Chains A and B, each alone.
Chain A
Amino acid sequence: MDFREKRRSYWYLVGPAVLIYSLVIIFPVVVSFVLGFTKWSGFGSPVFVGIKNYITMMKDPVFLYDLRNNLLIVGTSVFGQIPLGFVLAYILYRKMVKFGNFFESMIFLPITISAVVVAIMWNRIFFGNSGMFTSLMRMITGDQRWIMAISESKSGAIFPVLFVILWMYTGLYMIIYLANLQKISPSVLEAAIIDGASEGQILGRIILPSMINVLFTTAIFAISGSLKSFDLIFAMTNGGPAHYTEVVAIYMYINTFKYYKYGFGSAVSIMIIILSVGLITILNKFVRRIERKYE
């Protein structure tokens, strides 16, 4: 019909969102991107330094270790939260337990609580003398000097954090999968059961194929969310002790807001975006391959 009316309506619909979004995200990110090639302490003019910030970053063992921690978080999300969330959803979907609603609530509840609150809570539980877990272990072992030894080892310190991350976000995936499982037509399932299909066959032939898209989408969220993760770790360990639990976002934050290296900090935040895009591209390729198999 009238193309002009269509075009005008389009801008009424899209315009405000694009405007606000550009103002608060796109424009500042572009500024960050440009600053990433400079040295700037906030005063005077930024000095152009080319890709020096990126080279410094790649040579910094702290950054590389943070990257390792981030990848562990990505791993926890993709290979922990997603399968676990799926198993839990599947259990609830097939009604293998009573009080399904209650369990569902308990698993999902953490996601509704602010990350800062969760972090402070777990900090008080794990660390310090009067913490719940520490006190409990001291009572059980009778050792008044008992501590979370794992938090003092370079390779292990991240694990309590991973545990909290697993606990906090698995519920979200569970809810998503449960909702999508419930969309599968019950008649298809019944037919399969009547045909004598085993539990494994039902899962592999009917359920998983119809969930591929959802699994893929959630994996994207898991990756980008993992690389951005900040609030929880910042309030729980602040990256310590000795950078052992630090992640790239905290590295960026410290360099920007504590050491006032705006140029360098901007480069790190651009790096986070680059990494996300890279990982998601790999994931995409991988999923396409699986999809082809099923077709």
Chain B
Amino acid sequence: MKKLLVLALVLLLAVGSLFAAAEKEAADGVVELDMYHYHNLADDTATGQWNEIMAAFEVSYPNITLNIEYQNNEPFHNKLQAMAVAKQLPDVVYLWPKKRTGYVTGAGLIKDLVPFLGDKVNEFSPAAMTPQGPNGEIYEVPQQVTATHVVFTNNKILDELGLTYPKTLDEMLAQGPKLAAAGYIPIAMDNGDGWQMQSCFLSALTERAGGMDWYNDVLVGKASFSDTEFVNALNVIKVLSDNDMFSPGINQAPYGNALSDFENGKAAYLIDGGWRVQSLVEELPEALVPYVTLEAFPDIPNQVGQSQSTAVVAGTGFGMNANLEGTKADAAWDWIWFYSGEEGANIRVGHGMIPSYINADMGSQHPLLAKLVDFLNTKPAGYVIDAVVDGEGMGVLHPGIQEMMFGNKTPQAVADEFEAWVAANDSTRNP
């Protein structure tokens, strides 16, 4: 019987090692790279673009094989974090420019790409090439520059009711009852996950309410999130919420509901990120395209910052494992450059993205994309809060905003709680 038991265990181990050994052996001259990518298979828009880039890369670099692992949302970060703890990062990793993936970039696990970039730095928009590390490091080459706040506007609805895009918050509030009476949602937005209100709206409002000088002071502790400026920004959200301007059930809705409402002509405005142009290019009914414009939120009371301002953050892109040397490092750079440089950029333009690579061929743009380019070129911009404050702080701010919208907390209380967390814990204030 002992034999049987041993046999069973051996068999089990053998089966396992068999599968483990089945990993492909690299052929001569072929460089294999393990890659960890943020990608959602159910996202048609992103998948189309991704497949096109992969196909083009295979043609250009037949000697490089990419073994890709896809993850998205929280599991992406959980896994990356676990890999970082175990010091087992793959060769090429999809990264965020600032604090979102700071747990790997800040730990010295990612190679600084500045030596690889060299003069090519000038081929990117300056916003994309802002330093990502304390000594001017660039850990990933951003594929795009993202405006997180855009008020997508359906002018067909406005025309129908004899309205025009409002210049002030009060004007916008006055439109609410008219839109609602006609059966429309005034402002479509989802906030079930909590980050949307902060990233797509409050970030822009914060610059509006306080201006860039104040914003910079807050980050280093010379001013405070408890100041009237930030409370004022929060108050705009509260006033809109109290007047039923947002989608019903906004704080329960899964991300994407609002976009569907907007595309189906049920909502006059959609507050979302510039990345939604990609989805609109593919999904918006042809007849509606000419009517959709991209705006920034109207002026708010006691505005200190710049009129028409939005919030901008350098985009995501690929970085490489700090341990890579020689041919593997070269191959990894080939991929990074291909993805964010000219070739990848040209493909991306065709899919409704604005690449950070300035020499990209912008020739045949979709009209909405042209509007986004115009939006980015003309609107001033402030920071996105979650790019400049640690992620854990969002765990205080996001629920706070939701509670404020439910009427359980005042804007001042939300601001005070957030400030208390930032003052005690944020890595910029407490280096």
A residues within 8 Å of B by Cβ? 12, 16, 41-43, 123-124, 126-130, 134, 144-148, 151-154, 238, 240-243, 254, 257-260, 262
CA–CA, A243 and B260, complex, Å = 27
B22 at the interface (CB under 8 A from A): no
- The 4 A-B pairs at the shortest CB distance, nearest first, are namely A147-B249, A242-B399, A145-B248, A242-B402
Contacts of B241-262 to chain A: CB distance below 8 A = 244, 247-249, 251-254, 257, 260-261
Q: Is the CB of A153 within 8 A of B406?
A: yes
Q: Is the CB of A254 within 8 A of B395?
A: yes
> With a CB–CB cut-off of 8 A, which chain A residues contact B249?
127-129, 134, 147-148, 151-152
**Can you list 26 residue pairs at the A/B interface with Cβ under 8 Å?**
A12-B1, A12-B2, A12-B5, A42-B85, A127-B192, A127-B254, A128-B192, A128-B249, A128-B253, A129-B247, A129-B260, A130-B260, A134-B249, A146-B248, A148-B252, A151-B249, A152-B406, A240-B402, A241-B194, A241-B402, A242-B399, A242-B406, A242-B408, A254-B395, A257-B77, A259-B392
Q: Is the CB of A242 within 8 A of B403?
A: yes
Closest to B252 in A: A127
- A20: shortest Cβ distance to chain B, in Å? 10
The listed residue (A16, A128, A145, A258) touching B9 by CB distance below 8 A is A16
CA–CA, A123 and B257, complex, Å = 12
Q: Is the CB of B391 within 8 A of A259?
A: yes
Q: Is the CB of A128 within 8 A of B257?
A: yes
Q: Is the CB of A258 within 8 A of B261?
A: no
B residues within 8 Å of A by Cβ? 1-2, 5, 9, 74, 77-78, 81, 84-85, 103, 107, 183, 191-194, 244, 247-249, 251-254, 257, 260-261, 391-392, 395, 398-400, 402-403, 406, 408
Q: Is the CB of A130 within 8 A of B252?
A: no
Q: Is the CB of A147 within 8 A of B1?
A: no
> With a CB–CB cut-off of 8 A, which chain B residues contact A134?
249
- A24: shortest Cβ distance to chain B, in Å? 14
Q: Is the CB of A123 within 8 A of B403?
A: no
Q: Is the CB of B252 within 8 A of A241?
A: yes
> With a CB–CB cut-off of 8 A, which chain A residues contact B395?
254, 258-259
Closest to A254 in B: B395
Q: Is the CB of A240 within 8 A of B406?
A: no
CA–CA, A146 and B84, complex, Å = 45
Q: Is the CB of A145 within 8 A of B85?
A: no
CA–CA, A144 and B391, complex, Å = 36
DSSP class of B's interface residues: helix, strand, loop or mixed?
A: helix
- Given the contacts A127-B192, A258-B74, A258-B77, A241 and B251 also touching, CB distance less than 8 Å: yes
- Given the contacts A129-B247, A147-B249, A152-B252, A42 and B192 also touching, CB distance less than 8 Å: no
Closest to A42 in B: B85
Q: Is the CB of B399 within 8 A of A240?
A: yes
Q: Is the CB of B253 within 8 A of A257?
A: no
CA–CA, A126 and B253, complex, Å = 9
> With a CB–CB cut-off of 8 A, which chain A residues contact B107?
42-43
CA–CA, A262 and B86, complex, Å = 13
The listed residue (B5, B248, B260) touching A147 by CB distance below 8 A is B248
> With a CB–CB cut-off of 8 A, which chain A residues contact B257?
128-130
- B103: shortest Cβ distance to chain A, in Å? 6
CA–CA, A146 and B253, complex, Å = 13
Q: Is the CB of A144 within 8 A of B254?
A: no
- B164: shortest Cβ distance to chain A, in Å? 25
A123, A154, A238, A241, most chain B CB atoms within 10 A? A241
> With a CB–CB cut-off of 8 A, which chain B residues contact A153?
406
CA–CA, A262 and B1, complex, Å = 44
- A198: shortest Cβ distance to chain B, in Å? 49
Closest to A146 in B: B248
- B63: shortest Cβ distance to chain A, in Å? 35
In addition to A123-B254, A127-B252, A129-B261, 9 A-B residue pairs with Cβ atoms within 8 Å of each other are A42-B107, A127-B253, A128-B257, A144-B183, A241-B192, A242-B399, A257-B77, A258-B395, A259-B392
CA–CA, A152 and B402, complex, Å = 9
CA–CA, A16 and B1, complex, Å = 14
> With a CB–CB cut-off of 8 A, which chain B residues contact A241?
191-192, 194, 251-252, 399, 402, 406
> With a CB–CB cut-off of 8 A, which chain A residues contact B103?
41-42, 260
> With a CB–CB cut-off of 8 A, which chain B residues contact A126?
252
- B400: shortest Cβ distance to chain A, in Å? 8
- A170: shortest Cβ distance to chain B, in Å? 25
Q: Is the CB of A128 within 8 A of B399?
A: no
> With a CB–CB cut-off of 8 A, which chain B residues contact A124?
254
CA–CA, A257 and B391, complex, Å = 11
> With a CB–CB cut-off of 8 A, which chain B residues contact A146?
248
- A139: shortest Cβ distance to chain B, in Å? 15
> With a CB–CB cut-off of 8 A, which chain B residues contact A144?
183, 248
- Given the contacts A146-B248, A154-B408, A259-B392, A240 and B77 also touching, CB distance less than 8 Å: no
Closest to B261 in A: A129
> With a CB–CB cut-off of 8 A, which chain B residues contact A242?
194, 251, 398-400, 402-403, 406, 408
The listed residue (B251, B261, B400) touching A152 by CB distance below 8 A is B251
